[in-house]
Amino acid sequence: MTTEQRTAEGFSYTLERTLETPVAAVWSAWTTAESYARWAHAAPGSVEMDVRPGGTWKATMVTPDGGRFPLTGSYSEVDENRRLVIGMDVPGKNEPAVMTVELAERGADRTRIVVAQTCDTAVERDLAEQGTTMLLGGLTAFLTTAD
């Protein structure tokens, strides 16, 4: 399910999925550098994560055509197995782009994940939403094949 809206602060989107895996496995995939690199289209060895409020992260993402671009950011909220608020540094902007990831148990082996972000323009929102849709696809495939 996808929702889009324009707010006073900008243009936002929310993506929601139900994954057939426990919350702890989803949390681990999102917060462990080795796992994240495997599903998030990151260059091997490029992911570093200090998952705590004020901690930083970095990764070099690889596009389908082989292009590479480095990303950096920080964590402003970390509530294990429930919520991550992730800032992503954006060249030329004073404030990071902020993505919120919320997890909720849906029975013993199912997790509802909701990812939301607000962007400055509709174009930025559309690009961010496309990237997040790819991330969720990669996460779903990873969790389906993970041991």
The packing angle between helices 23-31 and 122-145, to 10°, is 120
Q: What is the pLDDT of residue 141?
A: 94
> Phi then psi for 28, rounded to 5 degrees?
-60, -40
What is the distance between the alpha carbons of residues 23 and 107, in angstroms, rounded to a whole number?
Answer: 10
What is the distance between the alpha carbons of residues 80 and 129, in angstroms, rounded to a whole number?
Answer: 24
What three-state secondary structure class fits 55? coil
pLDDT range class, residue 147, cuts 50, 70, 90:
low
Exposure string of 96-123, with b = 16+ CB inside 10 Å and e = fewer, is: ebbbbbbbeeeeeeebebebbbbbeeee
- Which tokens hold the place of 8? 């006073």
**Predicted confidence (pLDDT) per residue in 7-29, tens digit:** 546 799 999 999 999 999 999 99
Kindly tell me if the per-residue pLDDT of 6 is higher than 90: no
pLDDT range class, residue 120, cuts 50, 70, 90:
confident
Q: What is the pLDDT of residue 146?
A: 63
Domains of the chain, by residue range, sit at 2-145
Kindly tell me if the per-residue pLDDT of 2 is higher than 60: no
Phi-psi region of 101 (alpha: psi -120 to 50; beta: other; left: phi over 0): beta
Q: What is the pLDDT of residue 91?
A: 82
**Predicted confidence (pLDDT) per residue in 36-87, tens digit:** 999 998 998 999 999 999 999 999 988 888 889 899 999 999 999 999 999 9
Q: What are the C-alpha distances in Å from 59 to residues 41, 62, 67, 86, 104?
A: 10, 10, 13, 13, 26
Quick one: CA dihedral 72, 76, 79, 82, positive or negative? negative
Which CATH number fits the domain 2-145, given the four candidates 3.30.530.20, 2.60.40.1930, 3.40.1160.10, 2.60.120.10? 3.30.530.20
